Amino acid sequence: MPDDIVAVGSFADEGSAWVGRAVLDANGIRSEIVRPAVLYASPLPRRYQLAVRLEDAETAAHLLVAGPGNSSA
């Protein structure tokens, strides 16, 4: 991930990541879902992350904690 792009949310499944992305999109923050890489068999659960520009990270993190019902759009 480039230095000016940071992960702001971690989700257990892709559907949850899409809900988080929708919250950010509704508030004017562009994000991308980063899918977990499967390089080898691992007992650890795979997580999906949302990545945003560094300048949007603080706001995005607050929106994701607040949840869909509390967006400021």
| Number of neighbours of residue 9 by Cβ within 10 angstroms | 23
Does the pLDDT value for residue 73 go beyond 50? Answer: no
Beta-carbon contacts of residue 59 (< 8 Å; ≥ 6 apart): 27, 29
**Where do the domains of the chain lie?**
5-70
CA 53 from chain center: how many Å? 11
Q: Give the pLDDT score at 70.
A: 43
Distance in angstroms between the alpha carbons of the first and the last residue of the chain: 28
Q: Give the pLDDT score at 46.
A: 78
Q: Give the pLDDT score at 54.
A: 96
Give the integer Cα–Cα distance in Å for 3 and 13: 25
Mean pLDDT of 57-72: 76
What does the pLDDT look like over 24-54, one tens digit per residue?
999 999 999 998 876 566 666 778 999 999 9
Identify the CATH assignment for 5-70 out of 3.30.365.10, 2.60.40.10, 3.30.70.790, 3.50.50.60: 3.30.70.790
